[in-house]
Structure 1
Amino acid sequence: MARVLSKTTYNSLMEILLKLPFRNRVQTLRKLFSQISVDTLICIVAQECQRRMKWSHGRLTSLEAVETMYKRYIKSISMCEEPGILLKLSDEVGLTPALLARSIVERHYQRDDKSKPSKLLVSTLMKNTALIDDRDLAFETYLCLLEDDDYGSIAEVTKQSLGYEYEIRLRLELEECQVTFLHEDHLRAKGYDKTPDIKLEIPIAIDGQVINWIESKALFGDEEVHRGYLRDQLFSYWNRFGPGLVIYWFGFVEDLEKNHQNRTILIRDSLPRNMVLMEQTAL
């Protein structure tokens, strides 16, 4: 199954994705892009959702918008509608289930002077919905957290676990290939501030290019994602350690390496097995 996508395929996928509702989008895309890995589709969908929320969250959670949603929720409860009220509302307004539920919980706990409850309180309630004092709202919020793959406590724990899983996988594969390296914890202990996931103690060569470090990313690399990492991390690694390798485990858009401006940073979707190891010779 494909993980490295041409720009044409990626653009076609995104054009369709932007027209779909938040839930069940992966199932729809699987039928239309059967040649693409399911994990890759899941990752692309999640990243698009995060971008959309970044730009529209403020508008969708304004005081007026939240008040309107809250009144609709209260009316639906009073009419004894079936559970899933907030999920349906999420589809209608274009806000992910967890973010919408958080806004409704904030409104429910709004003080008499119309000031918002503390962020700590709301975060605690979102992590443990059993603490919400209204039975219906507690259940509706719980459903939203279960259905949201991109936001909320369940989604965050999943992302963190996935990232760590692939870092461990990279270390194990390097050990299997008998490559000597320091990982991020070692480097921080030595006083480095910005550190790649892997610093090779002895450089390796991949496709004729010497590599000094490796960064593991358990996501899909599109142009926006890669530009952000170049700015915030990768160029600083290049300046300090020289050429390196980025692994986007769930694939990437072709031709991303053109963004590097003569600074060599290879991009792959797995650890290459055609590595050339430098031989150590005794003096």
Structure 2
Amino acid sequence: MKLSRAEYNEIAKFTEKLRPTRQCLRMLKERFPSHSQSTLLSVFSLQYQKRIKRTIFRHHTPEAIETYYKRYQTEAQTHPADPVLLDMANEVDLSPALMARLILDRFLQDSNSGTPSKSVLNSMLKEPSLIPDQTLAKNIYQCTINDCCYGPLVDCIKHAIGQEHEVLLRDKLKERNMSFLDETQLRTMGYDKTPDIILEVPVAVDGHIVHWIESKASFGDDYSHRTYLNEQFWSYWNRFGPGLVIYWYGFIAELDCQRDRGIMLKECFPEDIVTLYQAGQTHAHAQPRGEPGSSQPSPQ
């Protein structure tokens, strides 16, 4: 759904006091019952990631890491049944999954007398049962499943949702008998940077020509949309012409301001698509009798 900037700002302000736990979804839905849960979660996730980027340096200093690790060791030994890491992450306002990564990395340095490889670290975060310390494994698992913004579980879910919406887009195009090339086909043709869909025959949406369609299974806020414009959309426009971006979880309505320059935003698959054939039929029916191009014979 589209949100006005005022609606978006109200939601964004409310998210400032939330932590990336499952409970935050319930709080968001209770506060904004008219908005979809997917939209609210996407807005919160974007806001929380910006918050983490502003503060992450404080947690990555050697002093901070050592403090967190010593505290974890003490509290895990004293209260082995408690979610020590999860509580600590929420207390210092750090993503539970990122806190888990810091502590696991520090634990492996102790165990292996050196910095662990990224592949080993990632495999243990994805599968905590590989961690030799059972208490730490349980704490890592608790952080992973309770973080709705970061971590291997979230990455997997986001990838699956992105794939799901790309399939949905292709199905919608097939229902309309529209000829297109998808990203995989375009890559085999030698294109290195492509939108999700190139239409082999352009269409019109809201009176604007569309040559390509990009699917985004997220909410379009100022920062993400500006980043996509600079890194993707304008390059698509330069190479393929005007196009359409679908933000399936909505966007700030005021951002849809580039239509005349060739980039249109929608929050769902458009129903008012006009194909070249339909445009030709409309033009033919609009022709007065006897004029060139009319389907009726001119009087003799």
Q: Using structure 1 for the length normalisation, give the TM-score.
A: 0.93
Within the candidate set 255, 276, 279, 2:274 is matched to 276
Within the candidate set 10, 15, 23, 2:8 is matched to 10
RMSD between superposed Cα atoms in Å:
1.8
1:80-112, CA deviations, whole angstroms, 9 ceiling, x for partnerless residues?
A: 253311111111011111110111111112248
The question of whether the paired residues in 2 share the 8 Å contact of 1:198 and 1:214 is answered with: yes
Which residues in structure 2 correspond to 1:108-127 (within 5 Å)? 108-111=107-110, 115-127=114-126
Task: State the Cα distance separating 1:16 from its structure 2 match.
Answer: 1.3
Task: State the Cα distance separating 1:61 from its structure 2 match.
Answer: 2.3
Which residues in structure 2 correspond to 1:176-215 (within 5 Å)? 176-215=175-214
- Could you tell me which runs of 5 or more consecutive residues in structure 1 were left unpaired when the two chains were aligned: none
Task: State the Cα distance separating 1:27 from its structure 2 match.
Answer: 1.4
Q: Distance in 1 between matches of 2:77 and 2:192?
A: 55
Q: Percent identity?
A: 41
Opposite residue 275 of structure 2, the aligned amino acid is: L
The question of whether the paired residues in 2 share the 8 Å contact of 1:5 and 1:254 is answered with: yes
Which residue pairs with 2:69 in the alignment?
70
1:15-56, CA deviations, whole angstroms, 9 ceiling, x for partnerless residues?
A: 111122332222112111111111100111111222222232
Q: Distance in 1 between matches of 2:274 and 2:112?
A: 68
Question: 1:78–1:112: structure 2 CA closer, same or farther, 3 Å change rule?
Answer: closer
Q: Distance in 2 between matches of 1:34 and 1:110?
A: 47
Question: 1:172–1:112: structure 2 CA closer, same or farther, 3 Å change rule?
Answer: closer
Which residues in structure 2 correspond to 1:226-241 (within 5 Å)? 226-241=225-240
Which residues in structure 2 correspond to 1:1-283 (within 5 Å)? 3-23=1-21, 24-111=23-110, 115-258=114-257, 260=258, 262-279=260-277
- Could you tell me which runs of 5 or more consecutive residues in structure 2 were left unpaired when the two chains were aligned: 281-300
The question of whether the paired residues in 2 share the 8 Å contact of 1:43 and 1:250 is answered with: yes
Task: State the Cα distance separating 1:120 from its structure 2 match.
Answer: 2.3
Deviates more, 1:59-68 or 1:202-211: 59-68
1:182-240, CA deviations, whole angstroms, 9 ceiling, x for partnerless residues?
A: 11111111111111100000010011111100000000001111100000000001011
The question of whether the paired residues in 1 share the 8 Å contact of 2:20 and 2:149 is answered with: no
Q: Distance in 1 between matches of 2:144 and 2:266?
A: 33
The question of whether the paired residues in 2 share the 8 Å contact of 1:238 and 1:263 is answered with: no
Q: Distance in 2 between matches of 1:261 and 1:212?
A: 13
Deviates more, 1:28-37 or 1:201-210: 28-37
Q: Distance in 1 between matches of 2:270 and 2:122?
A: 42
Q: Distance in 1 between matches of 2:75 and 2:110?
A: 23
Q: Distance in 1 between matches of 2:79 and 2:215?
A: 49
The question of whether the paired residues in 2 share the 8 Å contact of 1:222 and 1:252 is answered with: yes
Q: Distance in 1 between matches of 2:36 and 2:73?
A: 42
Q: Distance in 2 between matches of 1:153 and 1:22?
A: 14
Opposite residue 78 of structure 2, the aligned amino acid is: M
Q: Equivalent residue of 1:231, what SS?
A: helix
Opposite residue 9 of structure 1, the aligned amino acid is: E
The question of whether the paired residues in 1 share the 8 Å contact of 2:85 and 2:139 is answered with: yes
Q: Distance in 2 between matches of 1:15 and 1:202?
A: 44
Q: Distance in 1 between matches of 2:20 and 2:172?
A: 36
Q: Distance in 1 between matches of 2:236 and 2:111?
A: 52
Q: Equivalent residue of 2:277, what SS?
A: coil
Which structure is larger by alpha-carbon Rg, 1 or 2?
Answer: 2
Opposite residue 140 of structure 2, the aligned amino acid is: T
Task: State the Cα distance separating 1:58 from its structure 2 match.
Answer: 2.4
Question: 1:74–1:197: structure 2 CA closer, same or farther, 3 Å change rule?
Answer: same
The question of whether the paired residues in 1 share the 8 Å contact of 2:20 and 2:146 is answered with: no
Q: How many residues align?
A: 278
Question: 1:243–1:161: structure 2 CA closer, same or farther, 3 Å change rule?
Answer: same
